């Protein structure tokens, strides 16, 4: 027979185990291989699965969200993101940035240069005269170090001083977490050893229906203003009211309703490819966007602490890129909602500064919250 203290100890152990299990109840994290880069570097795949069966798959190349399976109104899981089947297809794709983490500077920097502390920094030109998404070897093409954390994966990439033209050694740490209430949370941090600029985002292409196009998705953008662009898609510096324009998404509207209107801004973007100024309600996370697909019932809300959100209606998908299962990605097959500092901020003194100094910390969160109705 066991002594009373032994029974007490056994009970205590059992309850500790229970507590630990319920804390982690939730999301399981599995690591597997996803192939090798051309130089032989191994790439891992992290699969996060929550208690409801929702599943996010992330690879260490580019921190790419390769699939996200969410329930429709009947509870059926479906993949709502565009992507490729193999690592070779991701590394060969220089056009789409499917699902990737973007850095050092998301979106465009005009004339591929900026001045900081009196020094002009020249960046790789990869979009007309401009530098887009950190250049052709941006964070989306780098292999990050992946580590399992509770409910998610932590990815680290150290970008050397001068890499892609940017000053300072930048250490970026991005954590993806999947919660039991079907939220995919992305926490971005970065530190530097020299004054620099930084603007990180995620470039997932969403299609809540899982096929066809997004022209009939209901989109709401919580923004009274947006930043109009020039013919090279660089903001003019103006913050223009959306009222009375095809850029007013304050009431749920489909992209298809006005995308073909005669409008100089729609012409420049070949559709929607603009930064909206998020209506903020103080510090912390604010609702920036909501997307609903009435056929599946899937709803996605985007919460962020960032000042801007790029709504891109997949205008440059031109049928030349094949995605998962060989499916051709056509114009408007998906939409992107990239939370960010405004494009070209380093050259726009009136925009919020994207500067990061040694001792400071870039620290930002975006959550994609899923439900069905």
List residues with catalytic annotation. 203, 338
> 57 — phi, psi (to 5°)?
-120, 125
Query: What would the x/- binding string for ligand GLA be over residues 237 to 276, using CB under 6 A?
Result: ------------------------------------x---
Number of residues that bind ligand GLA (CB under 6 A): 12
Q: Write the DSSP symbol of residue 172.
A: E
Cα-based distances in Å from 359 to 74, 172, 190: 49, 14, 11
Residue nearest to ligand GLA (CB): 312
Q: Which of 155, 336, 337, 356 binds ligand GLA (CB under 6 A)?
A: 336
Least gap, CB of 310 to ligand GLA (angstroms) = 5
Query: In the range 108-147, which residues lie near ligand GLA by CB under 6 A?
Result: 132
Least gap, CB of 206 to ligand GLA (angstroms) = 12
Q: Which of 268, 316, 330, 331 binds ligand GLA (CB under 6 A)?
A: 316
SS3 content of the chain, % helix, strand, coil (to 5): 15, 40, 45
Q: Which of 27, 70, 107, 202 binds ligand GLA (CB under 6 A)?
A: 107
**DSSP per-residue letters across 106-128:** -SEEGGGEEEETTEEEE----BT
* 90 forms part of the interface with ligand GLA (CB under 6 A): no
DSSP β-bridge partners for residue 318: none
Q: Which residue do the tokens 């998610």 mark? A: 152
> Which candidate, 148, 114, 116, 86, places its Cα nearest to that of 326?
86
* 97 forms part of the interface with ligand GLA (CB under 6 A): yes
Are the CB atoms for 355 and 365 separated by under 8 Å? Answer: no
Q: Which two tokens stand for residue 71?
A: 């329930």
**Local structure of 158: helix, strand or coil:** strand
* 66 forms part of the interface with ligand GLA (CB under 6 A): no
Query: What would the x/- binding string for ligand GLA be over residues 216 to 235, using CB under 6 A?
Result: -----------------x--
Binding site for ligand GLA (CB under 6 A): 95-97, 107, 132, 233, 273, 310, 312, 316, 336, 338
């Amino acid at each position: 027979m066991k002594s009373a203290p032994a029974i007490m100890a056994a009970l205590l152990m059992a309850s500790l185990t229970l507590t630990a299990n319920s804390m982690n109840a939730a999301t399981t994290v599995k690591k597997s291989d996803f192939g090798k880069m051309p130089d032989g570097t191994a790439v891992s795949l992290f699969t996060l699965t929550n208690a409801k069966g929702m599943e996010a798959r992330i690879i260490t190349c580019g921190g790419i969200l390769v699939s996200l399976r969410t329930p429709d109104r009947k509870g059926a899981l479906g993949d709502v993101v565009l992507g490729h089947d193999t690592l070779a297809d991701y590394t060969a794709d220089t056009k789409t940035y499917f699902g990737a983490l973007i850095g050092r500077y998301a979106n465009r920097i005009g004339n591929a240069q900026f001045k900081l502390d009196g020094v002009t920094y020249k960046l790789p030109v990869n979009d007309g005269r401009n530098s887009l998404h950190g250049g052709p070897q941006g964070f989306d093409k780098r292999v990050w170090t992946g580590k399992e954390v509770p409910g998610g994966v932590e990815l680290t990439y150290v970008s050397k001083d001068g890499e892609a033209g940017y000053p300072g050694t930048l250490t970026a740490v991005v954590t993806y977490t999947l919660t039991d209430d079907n939220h995919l949370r992305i926490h971005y941090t970065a530190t530097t050893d020299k004054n620099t600029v930084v603007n990180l985002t995620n470039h997932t292409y969403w299609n809540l229906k899982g096929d066809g196009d997004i022209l009939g998705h209901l989109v709401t953008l919580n923004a009274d203003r947006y930043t109009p662009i020039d013919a090279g898609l660089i903001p003019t510096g103006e913050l223009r009211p959306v009222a009375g324009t095809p850029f007013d998404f304050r009431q749920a509207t489909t992209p298809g309703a006005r995308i073909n209107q005669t409008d100089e801004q729609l012409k420049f973007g070949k559709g929607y490819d603009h930064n909206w100024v998020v209506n903020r309600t103080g510090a912390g996370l604010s609702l920036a966007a909501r997307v609903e697909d009435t056929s599946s019932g899937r709803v996605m809300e985007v919460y962020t602490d960032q000042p801007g959100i790029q709504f891109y209606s997949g205008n440059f998908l031109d049928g030349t890129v094949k995605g998962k299962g060989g499916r051709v990605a056509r114009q408007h097959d998906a939409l992107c909602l990239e939370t960010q500092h405004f494009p070209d901020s380093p050259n726009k003194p009136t925009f919020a500064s994207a500067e990061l100094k040694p001792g400071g910390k870039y620290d930002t969160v975006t959550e994609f919250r899923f439900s069905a109705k």
